[in-house]
Structure 1
Amino acid sequence: MIRFLRSPATKLAALYTSIFAVLLLSHSTPEFLSPRQGSTLDASKPYRESVKMLEYHYVQRAYGNDDINIDRRLWDAWEQIENGPQTAMLKPFPVAATWRLEGPTNIGGRMRAVAFHPTQTNTIYAGGASGGVWRSDDLGATWTPLSDFEPRINIGALAIDVSNPDILYAGTGEPIPGSYGRKNGSAFYDGVGVLRSSDAGASWTLLPWPSNNSSVYRIALHPQSSDTLLVGTRDKLWKSTDGGQNWSSALSGIITDVLYKPGDPSTVFAAVGNDYGGSSNGVYVSHAGGDKFTWEKLDVNFAPGDSIGRIVLSIPDADPDRIYAAVALNRNRMPDSDVDFKGVFVSKNGGASWERKLSAITNGFTRGQAYYDLTIMASPSDPDLVLLGGIDMYRSDNGGEGFTKKSRWELRVLDPNNPGYVHADQHHIAFKPDDPNVAIVGNDGGVFLTTDKGDTWAQRNDGLATTQFYGINYAPSNPNLLYGGTQDNSNMRQSSPGQTNWLYVGGGDGGNIAVDPKSNNTMYFCMNSSPFRTFDGVNMEPITNGLSGFRFNWIRPMLLDPDGDRLYTASNSVHRLSPAKDATTWINITPGVLTSSIVTDLELVSANPRYMYAATGKGEVFFCFNLIALDPEWDLVDEGLPNRWISDIHLGWDSWNTVYAAISGYGTGHAYKTTDGGLSWTDISGDLPDIPANAIVPSLTDTNTVFLATDIGVWYTIDGGEHWKQFGNGLPNVVCYDMKLTPENRLIVGTYGRGIWTTDAVTSVTAAPAQPTDIALHANYPNPFGTGIAPVTTLTFSLERAQDVRLQVVDAAGRIV
């Protein structure tokens, strides 16, 4: 039976008196798949799922206001942080909270831009889609982060000044169009314009920016002037002639690429590539340095603009009249979900006319996501040598007449040491300036290097900690052993506590992981939103029976009870698998439909597994008090919560009727608390900036202290929510999607772009007493113990921990007595 009650006061009040034990809890942080998507997913084909990943981020932040500019709102939050009361110091923690990177340092995340230093050619720069700018001085053998604490570390483009290589520009944001509520290709990860460094990335300046549409596709630097640059964004091509201090609009449209003609900087080529087509789509040329009103569309024998989508370009230095264009189909005109590649077009006369060289590649090339993974690069010294990237890498040795497949993403599971393995989803290619055999590619698995024109490849991810985590967990039997689910790098785990080289579990996109309390190798997780289980950490079996016909989150809850006997997941209903290790069919424990929305998180009261809370993407929270019954009852307990996406809920550590909620989106509070089981909720956001919140954890030791993972790092309050401050030192300025607190007070945060971090400095929020070095009792001077019948004098002091002390009493002359 499902009952939707706003005020189940009598029932809840009775329940409050029945619980006396200190409660332990199980916790999970799930996420979202658009309600328009079905529940059936093909786990063997991760390339199909990128659009759901894009929607997953956007919808949570735009829910309640689909036309919102999430770029602008996140920048407003950053300015609020810089200028607001949060800059004032709160009472400090007793030990400086310093974050420690737990890894993985052997598995890279999505890299959207790569570039070689023009003269020190073993030096590589790489830009992570949500992991910042990185530098390697040894062809990718080791890496150093350069921009961890800049206003935004979502990097979509890089450009190095060839005449002064210390000058480096980084375009922020990742302007990938998706399919949900994205007007004109709204950004996936938000940008704030362009960063400039004049010391090879050691420091950065955020340049003034003229547009709300601030995510950057490409940057082109004038080869003879460090101060002249063109920047392609999702609404315009912008030009600056003073190093980015002032900007002018040069060309309208979604600018997916821009290039100076080698040897002739007065000539500039640009691609307009609206993912959903449009008459303006195509390749343009300016013979006046890219100034406004000087652009001409080059459309002779090129595909009609309304039939095509994204376009990427390459011009070889050795033949500057030759232009290669890799072209996607208009996503509204795809013949089926796997075919969205129009072909490779080549011009040998500066764009005056084009020839379509390649119309299709067998065995799948972009497989429905050319808007996301499409890149082309011609060798600077050999104009006939072309590398082309989609899902895999391809090469042409004859100017695009034919392409040969040169990598296989599926080898990651079959044979990861095979030299033919390159991670799926190619984003950007660069050739080594002094060796045409050497090239690098950035993809969803980091950076890969070839030294033989693409015949063989090697991972170059050692130290490139840019993995993008959706969910994290720890082993109940060993809380120092960490697990996580990632974007396109599957689920993974540490081989042993503290080990920063992690192990893969499965493939594709990961999600939330539930770990058996008795066996660290028994795990329940999702691959591409389909649930699996493993008993040895290697071999997997799907557990999908009973789930058809429901609408699921892209990253769904996976929650075990304290004994490991019952597994829960959620859609627009709640489902149970029992016993978790043996059962093959899920049971719907909310007969019918619980909600018109999708459940975003589940919380189980571990001390009483009959009690469960369920949160949704419409600001709803449901409570069940008889979960084990044949006909569980669910009550709606959301009075006071805003109509926003609830990212996470967490129980209080000592009371099941105390619940905390993290709220995504904009325009409301982002941290809420109830102490009466949801009868009423209180906004405890205080002076917290208007930032989407993704996870919430109360302190183990102080009910006034709460930690909040947000799109701008981790925040904490020590006064019940009146004041908030960013927590700890050393954590990059990164989106934090999930957070856990272990029984040992170890705070763990999973970031989307910089791996997993921990800190142990969360044991108290009361300033520790200073350790005394001497004690003077002036009132009893000169003899603290008196004379005759000795009066009692008590010396009182505090120590941080139990330890031996030595007390010395001295007279007025300083002699020990």
Structure 2
Amino acid sequence: MYFEYQSFRSFKVNTEPQFTIAQNEGLNEEAEAESENPQKRLAYEMDMLKDPSTGKIPFDIRHKELSYVRELNQIERNNIRSSAAGISQTNASPFVNYGPFNIGGRTRALAIDVTDEDILIAGGISGGVWRSTDQGTTWTRTTNFDQIPSVTTIVQDKRTGKTTNWYYATGENIGNSVSETGAFYLGDGIYKSTNGGVSWSLLAGTATNSVTTLGKFSLVNKIAIDYSNQSETEIYVAGLSKIYRTVDDFQTVTTVLGIPNTGFNSADIAIATDGTIVASIPNKSSNGTNPEEGIFISPDGITWTSITLPAGWPSSFRRVELAFDPHDENFFYALGETFLYKYDRSTSTWTTLTDNINVNEESVQGFDAQGGYNLEVAVHPGNQNTVYVGGTNLLRSPNGFTTATDRKHIGGYTGTGTAGPYANHHPDIHTLSFLPSDAKKMFTGSDGGIHKTNDNTASTVVWSSLNNGYVTSQFYTVDLYRGDRGDNQIIGGMQDNGTWALFQNDPTSSWIQAYGGDGAFSAISYNALYASAQEGQMGRFELVDNTYQASEDISPSDDDEEFLFINPFIVDRVNQDRMYVAAKGKIYYTYDIRENPGKGEWEEINGTGITSQPVSALATSVQPEGVLYFGTTTGRLQKISNTKEITTVENISASNLPQNASITSIAVDPRDANRVFVTFGNYGIISVWMSEDGGQTWSSISGNLEENANGSGNGSSVRSIEILPNGASGEKVFVGTSTGLYMTSSLNGASTVWTQQAPNIIGNSIVIMVKVRPIDGKVIAATHGSGVFVGYYDTGFNPEINYSIEGESRAVIRANQSFNQGQGFAFKWFKDGVEITGQTGAELVVTATGTYKCQVTDQLGPVAFTNEVSFDFDVVAGIDDEPFNENVQVSPNPSNSIFNINLDVAYATGFNYSIYNSNGIQVVTGKKEFYNTEERFQVNLGSMPDGLYILNVDNDKRRDVIKLLKQSN
């Protein structure tokens, strides 16, 4: 073999690999095994949002914070109009929604247009209203981003001449006290469309005007229209422990049932074709003195009669869904969280069917309503005996659940008793709709969006996803690979939809699933994807030949009480084989995640002074590396100044920081480890803080994000912060909030002015997390209900390096690469401030002690140095302290160019080789597939500087380390 080292300078553009993920059912099943727990999720969100002074989320805060944002945006528009400079462009390209195109979010509302079966109208619980004109092949969002997106119920006026009129309601009560956790989910009344769902407007008579108490339509479970009334538009609304009636399009509203009630229970209503109405009012939350609760019936919606409940009906019940039998409306079904009954109006008798629905606390099989979170019952329009019950799973009975033997599991989880979704379907069923012309065709709305079957009576029901651009997914987290310009990888965790990744620069490309469960924190490093699920479940996917291969479960502990519901972890920004995992009262860490540590194999950072406080945010530094900041759900901030040798944990909490508030994110300036930013998610406090001395002192930079200087009022909840350097000293700082994405390029303490980004694209969506990439100005905003948005900003040139340790005395340093044509990079490497001759690649292999950095030249013009990394190796050259082999014949040696080397027969099957200079820098690497021992292995170092070089040769049988002395004549 002949190898010649070439020294040249050129701009390099790499071809981006076509990544994919190898599916691992074992890891997915582990994550799915613990299905979504709405109560735990709400408790997690409660801690993040509640006002520390009251312990509650402010009433109607969603409505109030949106009103405040509208005022801010109007002030901004007025300032622009009065400015001679006009509008300045802040981002290089507009934000684009990147889906997930093939994943839907929690859907409680779904209806088919009675005049055109191709028209579907659906509502995501935090994603607004969507309309399809081709039965789910494509979708268009028809609500604006400044309208409340919490859609719970949709109904069409099906009367002749009225069919273009549609109504939807907002505000979801999912079981917890509205005065506490549920307050964030309050709606804003009833919306109406007069053009078939193409656009919507809020009905003034239903708007929530109170700032201290609930309005009638703050939380709505159901809207229903009495189609038998041809002279009036008679509409009923099932709200909190009450039933409301209007006949004048909500100009006036009458409470017709539950007048004395004070509880926070989700009522329900169903209307027969003759105008008979049945209603349920639960009592899990006390309805006060002399309440009206239970099951009621009325011939006209004005006069109501209580139906005596049957023996076995629970004394306390949270939610009951009602459905008439369309074949004989003398019968209706009542489905609760632990029971199913059928009522016969003609005989005033109940039939108990509970034993036949397999009430089960194991969500993966049988009927589990999860406390009333998912609940639906319906009779097949084409067969009176076929009845469907929805909980976590979808069950079907051919005899109205009068027996258990013929019950069939047809959706949700697999039905085999193991975790994982039913093929092309999703758990947690909220609504069912049948195609009027062919009732075998059925649509479901679930936590996974919208699905359709062409035969709901088949022995094995086959489903297809209609999540084709129905972008309603609810992200918790997102990440991108920071290393390379033009890299398209995005990964994110979503509520009850697992963790998925996108590898294409195409908004309509399908995302690929990596992990199940409730998708939690995720990350991308130089050689792996990381995904997690609720309460600390974690998996690693190692990159092998452009495929991310699932490795072992890397969860630090199997005690889920140690972790938050959505539990943070981070990969070190510089040494990307280091990982830190948040826990209660401590941090788990490993110096080499490549070893796939499992339960009991992680190191722990204890003695932090946070006892049982959950760690809620972590961040590491870039320049210099090795500083770790972390904070808790109670507002305590800590710092470790040297993660290479963890000896002390410093408390950097300050008296002026919010107390008993949840830290939602931490960001460290990649140019200066002492510049650190912290956000708090709670309402009623100052949310955004900054330190320029490593946490010794803190100052507010919340500015106009707060309505009042002390943090009170109707300012947004701040969830995430990121800093995008703009050259040596400038910057763009982004925050993700409950009312959208904001940015400032001029920090000015408490007077900082934040500007909403992409107001007509991202709008007031809840931006749960922001990620940036300094090398190309890429910004990703993940929302809780509207998917992921990607944009690019013009910034200065900001290259970075990261590294991995290979053995005890070798490291591989990586600079940014470019995948953009015409935007390549050229590289110069430096050790201890001196250029390393001949090193022009994007990677540098080092074995010598010293401080390294890279000068990167952009083909577009800019030149900049990266951050620095330092190593303290025990040996200057060689691999893993291997001794030199003085017995290998090299001729000539010294040589001015070519070295002829006689290698052992053990290398006949091939070998790897690498050459290092006297500074320990790898200058040559390669592989020989076959070696003929009658020939000699040749290396040509003629173009390299004189000096000592070390040749390492190895395969699975032998290793030799050989000295080569390059010496010119």
- Residue type matched to 1:460 in 2? L
The alpha-carbon distance between structure 1 residues 49 and 419, as it changes in their structure 2 partners (threshold 3 A), is closer
- 2:694 corresponds to: 677
Alignment match of 1:736 (pick from 756, 767, 772): 767
> Is the contact made by 2:281 and 2:293 (CA closer than 8 Å) also made in structure 1?
yes
Q: Secondary structure, in 3 states, of the residue corresponding to 2:594?
A: coil
- Pairwise mapping of residues 141-152 of structure 1 onto structure 2 (< 5 A)? 141-152=137-148
> Is the contact made by 2:283 and 2:293 (CA closer than 8 Å) also made in structure 1?
yes
> Is the contact made by 1:619 and 1:638 (CA closer than 8 Å) also made in structure 2?
no
Output one character per residue of 1:88-108: Cα deviation in whole Å (capped at 9) or x when no partner.
236634266622011210111
Alignment match of 1:431 (pick from 431, 434, 437): 434
Alignment match of 1:272 (pick from 278, 281, 299): 281
Residues 669-678 or 734-743, more deviating: 669-678
Does 1:646 find its partner at 2:663? yes
- Residue type matched to 2:765 in 1? V
Does 1:574 find its partner at 2:578? no
- 1:6 corresponds to: none
**Same amino acid, percent of matched pairs:** 25
Structure possessing the higher relative contact order (Cα contacts under 8 Å, 6 or more residues apart)? 1
1:674, CA displacement in angstroms? 2.0
Residues 635-644 or 313-322, more deviating: 635-644
* CA distance in structure 2 between the partners assigned to 1:713 and 1:482 by the alignment: 20
- 1:634 corresponds to: 650
- Pairwise mapping of residues 188-267 of structure 1 onto structure 2 (< 5 A)? 189-207=185-203, 208-209=206-207, 212=214, 214-223=218-227, 224=229, 227-252=233-258, 253-254=263-264, 256-265=266-275, 267=276
Does 1:714 find its partner at 2:749? no
* CA distance in structure 2 between the partners assigned to 1:605 and 1:72 by the alignment: 39
Does 1:725 find its partner at 2:755? yes
The alpha-carbon distance between structure 1 residues 115 and 198, as it changes in their structure 2 partners (threshold 3 A), is same
> Is the contact made by 1:378 and 1:386 (CA closer than 8 Å) also made in structure 2?
yes
Q: With the length of structure 2 as denominator, give the TM-score of the two structures.
A: 0.68
Does 1:176 find its partner at 2:174? yes
Q: Secondary structure, in 3 states, of the residue corresponding to 1:59?
A: helix
Output one character per residue of 1:365-400: Cα deviation in whole Å (capped at 9) or x when no partner.
344614211111123453322211111111122233
> Is the contact made by 1:126 and 1:134 (CA closer than 8 Å) also made in structure 2?
yes
- Residue type matched to 1:724 in 2? W
Output one character per residue of 1:321-376: Cα deviation in whole Å (capped at 9) or x when no partner.
21111111xxxxxxxxxxxx2x2100121693321113354473344614211111
- 2:964 corresponds to: none
Q: Secondary structure, in 3 states, of the residue corresponding to 2:94?
A: coil
CA-based RMSD of the aligned residues comes to 3.1
> Is the contact made by 1:109 and 1:128 (CA closer than 8 Å) also made in structure 2?
yes
* CA distance in structure 2 between the partners assigned to 1:465 and 1:311 by the alignment: 30
- 1:452 corresponds to: 455
- Pairwise mapping of residues 21-36 of structure 1 onto structure 2 (< 5 A)? none
1:311, CA displacement in angstroms? 0.6
The alpha-carbon distance between structure 1 residues 300 and 216, as it changes in their structure 2 partners (threshold 3 A), is closer
The alpha-carbon distance between structure 1 residues 468 and 260, as it changes in their structure 2 partners (threshold 3 A), is closer
Residues 54-63 or 111-120, more deviating: 54-63
Does 1:122 find its partner at 2:113? no
Does 1:299 find its partner at 2:308? yes
Does 1:49 find its partner at 2:61? no
* CA distance in structure 1 between the partners assigned to 2:73 and 2:236 by the alignment: 37
Does 1:113 find its partner at 2:109? yes
Alignment match of 1:94 (pick from 81, 89, 94): 89
> Is the contact made by 1:186 and 1:234 (CA closer than 8 Å) also made in structure 2?
no
- Pairwise mapping of residues 280-359 of structure 1 onto structure 2 (< 5 A)? 281-289=293-301, 291=302, 294-301=303-310, 303-304=312-313, 306-328=315-337, 341=338, 343-349=339-345, 352-359=348-355
- Residue type matched to 2:240 in 1? R
1:250, CA displacement in angstroms? 2.9
- 1:565 corresponds to: 577
1:238, CA displacement in angstroms? 2.7
Does 1:752 find its partner at 2:769? no
> Is the contact made by 1:132 and 1:155 (CA closer than 8 Å) also made in structure 2?
yes
> Is the contact made by 1:639 and 1:679 (CA closer than 8 Å) also made in structure 2?
no
> Is the contact made by 2:415 and 2:422 (CA closer than 8 Å) also made in structure 1?
no
Output one character per residue of 1:488-526: Cα deviation in whole Å (capped at 9) or x when no partner.
111110133435310000211111112222x2x443534
Q: Which has the larger radius of gyration?
A: 2
Q: Secondary structure, in 3 states, of the residue corresponding to 1:407?
A: strand
1:67, CA displacement in angstroms? 5.5
The alpha-carbon distance between structure 1 residues 417 and 635, as it changes in their structure 2 partners (threshold 3 A), is closer
Q: With the length of structure 1 as denominator, give the TM-score of the two structures.
A: 0.80
Residues 551-560 or 300-309, more deviating: 300-309
The alpha-carbon distance between structure 1 residues 105 and 727, as it changes in their structure 2 partners (threshold 3 A), is same
Does 1:692 find its partner at 2:692? no
Output one character per residue of 1:376-434: Cα deviation in whole Å (capped at 9) or x when no partner.
11234533222111111111222331462332545599999998542111111111222
- Residue type matched to 2:70 in 1? E
> Is the contact made by 1:716 and 1:727 (CA closer than 8 Å) also made in structure 2?
yes
> Is the contact made by 1:232 and 1:254 (CA closer than 8 Å) also made in structure 2?
no
1:154, CA displacement in angstroms? 1.4
- Residue type matched to 1:654 in 2? R
- Residue type matched to 1:145 in 2? R
Corresponding residue pairs, total: 706
The alpha-carbon distance between structure 1 residues 651 and 95, as it changes in their structure 2 partners (threshold 3 A), is closer
- 1:496 corresponds to: 504
> Is the contact made by 2:57 and 2:683 (CA closer than 8 Å) also made in structure 1?
no
> Is the contact made by 1:309 and 1:371 (CA closer than 8 Å) also made in structure 2?
yes
Does 1:599 find its partner at 2:615? yes
Output one character per residue of 1:689-708: Cα deviation in whole Å (capped at 9) or x when no partner.
51111111234227574322
The alpha-carbon distance between structure 1 residues 623 and 699, as it changes in their structure 2 partners (threshold 3 A), is same
* CA distance in structure 2 between the partners assigned to 1:202 and 1:351 by the alignment: 45
- Pairwise mapping of residues 545-556 of structure 1 onto structure 2 (< 5 A)? 545=556, 548=559, 551-556=562-567
- Residue type matched to 2:266 in 1? T
Q: Secondary structure, in 3 states, of the residue corresponding to 1:539?
A: strand
Does 1:485 find its partner at 2:493? yes
> Is the contact made by 1:173 and 1:187 (CA closer than 8 Å) also made in structure 2?
no
Q: Secondary structure, in 3 states, of the residue corresponding to 2:725?
A: coil
- 1:399 corresponds to: 400
> Is the contact made by 1:323 and 1:348 (CA closer than 8 Å) also made in structure 2?
yes
Output one character per residue of 1:609-649: Cα deviation in whole Å (capped at 9) or x when no partner.
43111111122211121333253322233332112222111
> Is the contact made by 1:147 and 1:201 (CA closer than 8 Å) also made in structure 2?
no
> Is the contact made by 1:601 and 1:649 (CA closer than 8 Å) also made in structure 2?
yes
The alpha-carbon distance between structure 1 residues 656 and 630, as it changes in their structure 2 partners (threshold 3 A), is closer
* CA distance in structure 1 between the partners assigned to 2:391 and 2:628 by the alignment: 44
- 1:14 corresponds to: none
Residues 483-492 or 556-565, more deviating: 556-565
- Residue type matched to 1:270 in 2? A
> Is the contact made by 1:269 and 1:285 (CA closer than 8 Å) also made in structure 2?
yes
> Is the contact made by 1:514 and 1:525 (CA closer than 8 Å) also made in structure 2?
no
The alpha-carbon distance between structure 1 residues 762 and 77, as it changes in their structure 2 partners (threshold 3 A), is farther
> Is the contact made by 2:578 and 2:590 (CA closer than 8 Å) also made in structure 1?
yes
- 2:626 corresponds to: 610
Structure 1: 5+ residue stretches without partners: 1-40, 329-340, 765-800, 803-817
- Residue type matched to 1:714 in 2? L
